[in-house]
Amino acid sequence: MSTVFDAWQYGQISAEVSLAGHGRRTEIRRLQQLRLAQVLLAAVRGSSVYRQRLHRLPDGLDPLKILARIPPVTRHELMDRFAEWVTDPELELSALRAHTADPGRIGEPFLGRYLVWESSGTSGMPGIFVQDARCMAVYDALESQRRSRVQALRRWFDPLCLSERIAFVGATGGHFASYVSVERLRRLQPWLAQSVRSFSILQPLDALVAELNDFAPTVLASYPTAAAVLGQEAREGRLHLKLREIWTGGETLTEAVRRRLETAFSGVSVRNSYGASEFLAMAWECDHGHLHLNSDWVILEPVDEHHRPVPEGHASAAVLLTHLANTVQPLIRYDLGDHLRFLPEPCSCGSPLPVIEVQGRRDDTLHVEGRHGHAVALLPLAVSTVLEEQAGLFDFQVCQEDARTLQLRLPQSGQEGRAALALGRKALQAYARTQGSVPLRVQGVLGCQVPRGRSGKSCRILPQESG
């Protein structure tokens, strides 16, 4: 069955990815300039959304300087003007929505030449994203050349993980990027169909555990929150897996969750990555535990609330993404909404690629009342870390009731639940005080499962609804 793959482009881009990963920062900048120029040219020629933003910019400037002058765009604007956004007029939104509405077409090429997936809509509006063969070759090369370089000797003899049994645990009911990618891999290499399987995170936990025990994977790929829940099942003796590797992505992996996984699955290697529906493989984790941005193929600009640049070492209020491979559906200074921090020091692993820390989404930030009259922001990564490391809670949901009240929901009940709630309440109140908030009330709700969205991601932090 056909899929979106070009062997020649994959080979060429793999060589470029390998060379750039061992080059200098000046070479990364040169590649950015070259690829950005190509994307800007394609956008001017084929996308009226970007043509309106670019037509008054002077010729002859460094493409990176031109980029800084382009007004940012949002998902809402691009989806509202979809026909003016894409550069291929055959990409009709109604037809794409019909494609993604059919679960039987997951991983199937659209128009015979595009791979399509949808976003979860956690930022307010679901998006539909289209990739051609060149774009997929970039993702494939980044994944194969830079991700999961653990157990190097074994990977030297088995770079494609053909000897492994890989279980993807996530959402399997929609055209989401991770699931579409797994199904594409199974179509591309049919002999892997028996050793690569997807499992729904939305099914009852006991059913998921039974399926995983029966499949007996050696590699688990999932969200950190889902992996943490499975780790607890292993610790309590219900999940019996001899895992070699755990690949996490889609959410922030905290050190507490990493340690918990390494304890629950003895001898396992945990590797994290950072990606999104807009760009599947943005950053990879090196042996030193640092996330390196694939800046030869994607530009991320950390900005404040007014889209002004944020210096290295400071957390951003948002981040603007520019995709250097997708000329069919250009993404130029696209507001991704994540909180990031660029580390100013180079990594001791020797990679020329910049190191980033991902600190959650802007949409998940809790704004509570401060002692001095102004609002205090509690970042989702910080809230999660406090509950994990200080209270030992990994399966939870924090909901904001008002500017002085949080609700902590836990699956435990009875005496166990009351003890867990007491630890969680103490940790949350103490953390909020250190950030300058007024004393917060933390109400408890016990015996409730943490909900997951359509994409399978855990809804851990819920800010107060506006209005």
| Domains defined for the chain, CATH in brackets | 1-147+286-360 (3.40.50.12780), 163-175+190-280 (3.40.50.980), 365-462 (3.30.300.30)
Helix axes 380-391, 414-434, angle to 10 degrees: 130
Whether the per-residue pLDDT at 155 is higher than 60: the answer is no
Could you tell me if 380 and 363 are in contact, meaning their C-beta atoms sit under 8 angstroms apart? no
* Separation CA 160–CA 166 (nearest Å): 11
Instruction: Tell me the DSSP string of 377-412.
Output: EE-HHHHHHHHHHHH---S-EEEEEETTEEEEEES-
Could you tell me if 356 and 301 are in contact, meaning their C-beta atoms sit under 8 angstroms apart? no
Q: What is the pLDDT of residues 196-231, one digit of tens each?
A: 999 998 788 899 999 999 999 999 999 888 898 899
Grade residue 156 by pLDDT with cuts at 50, 70 and 90. very low
Total length of the chain: 467
Mean pLDDT score across all residues of the chain:
89
How many helices (H) and strands (E) the chain has is answered by 15, 20
**pTM of this prediction?**
0.84
Give the three-state DSSP class for 303. strand
Instruction: Tell me the DSSP string of 117-185.
Output: EE---TTSS--EEEE-HHHHHHHHHHHHHHS---SHHHHHH-TT-TTS-EEEEE--SS-BHHHHHHHHH
Q: What is the pLDDT of residues 257-276, one digit of tens each?
A: 999 999 999 999 999 999 99
Higher per-residue pLDDT: 126 or 89: 89
Give the three-state DSSP class for 198. strand
Q: Could you give the count of Cα atoms lying within 13 Å of 422 in the half-sphere of its Cβ?
A: 6
Q: What is the DSSP pairing of strand 366-369 with strand 375-378? A: antiparallel
Q: For position 157, what pLDDT does the model report?
A: 46
Higher per-residue pLDDT: 458 or 249: 249
- Could you count the other beta carbons within 10 Å of the beta carbon of residue 48? 14
Query: Which tokens in the block code for residue 466?
Result: 């506006």
Beta bridge partners of 117: 129
Report CA-CA distances (Å) from 146 to 129, 281, 285, 287, 401. 23, 10, 8, 11, 43
Chain centroid to CA 430 = 30
Helix axes 25-46, 7-21, angle to 10 degrees: 140
What's the CA angle centered on 9, arms 3 and 12, to 5 degrees? 145
Q: What is the pLDDT of residues 423-467, one digit of tens each?
A: 999 999 999 999 899 999 999 999 988 777 666 677 788 888 754
Higher per-residue pLDDT: 258 or 22: 258
Residue 378 is which amino acid?
Answer: L
Query: Which tokens in the block code for residue 264?
Result: 């629950």
Report CA-CA distances (Å) from 207 to 45, 203, 204, 238. 52, 7, 5, 11
